Structure 1
């Protein structure tokens, strides 16, 4: 994520799932057998949700050690490695006519599970999704326009929901 990115929120766009499916097939072809699963996560994956118009894609792999050919294949799809958190996540971004965050994480690891848990909880609990949308809108209205600050402020809300959901499932 580039620090100079600013925050703008959009109402839900029904094209977001279609854009995800289009990009999913391109990523699957690039990563091939190294890819375990790929999912649409984040606010653009929740129907009716206010969101930054950036599609979040979570790609699960058994290893985060990508070979040079895989990097080149992703680069050929206009992805740039933006952030590497050792043993947890590789973040590739695409900022063309379609903005995408591609989170490569360990398949069935904590980040993989939490990404799906968060998305599914928002999908199944419209009141929480609405509250989260209001929370994000409030951040922007109150002058949070720097991407890093925006993400930081959202994390406590997200982590509280994930912890609650994990406890309900007996995981936490």
Structure 2
């Protein structure tokens, strides 16, 4: 059987590594400027630790915001820990990077979305990743290039 490169898994690892790097920097230096994060995660994922009342309120998915009030942000290889404020009630939580479904920094219009394939589709299909990056430069019309230009004569 021929060996192949698993680009889907490699891309997931790289994008989750990006989130890990960003959160590690914030844990050490705080949030720079107007940066803040909306992080949506699967509350049913193994390793997620949240208060029972939060799990009851968000049985499948939850979005948290790291902006004005958060503390004890600790980043490990596979997860991060943070304490967030819910109605003046501090709640510690543990979120594995594999549980993250979206990571958005609206201050710079950057976002990642990890979409899982449904269980009834083929097992070999990998999760899809959508990356959204908005530059401050004006958009230009796309240029169509013929592949014939690159073929050997």
Q: Do both proteins adopt the same fold according to a TM-score greater than 0.5, normalized to the shorter chain? A: no
Q: TM-score range by the shorter chain?
A: under 0.3
Q: Which has the larger radius of gyration?
A: 2
Q: Which has the higher strand share?
A: 2
Greater helix share, 1 or 2? 1
Calculate the TM-score normalised by the size of structure 1: 0.23
- TM-score normalised to structure 2 length: 0.25
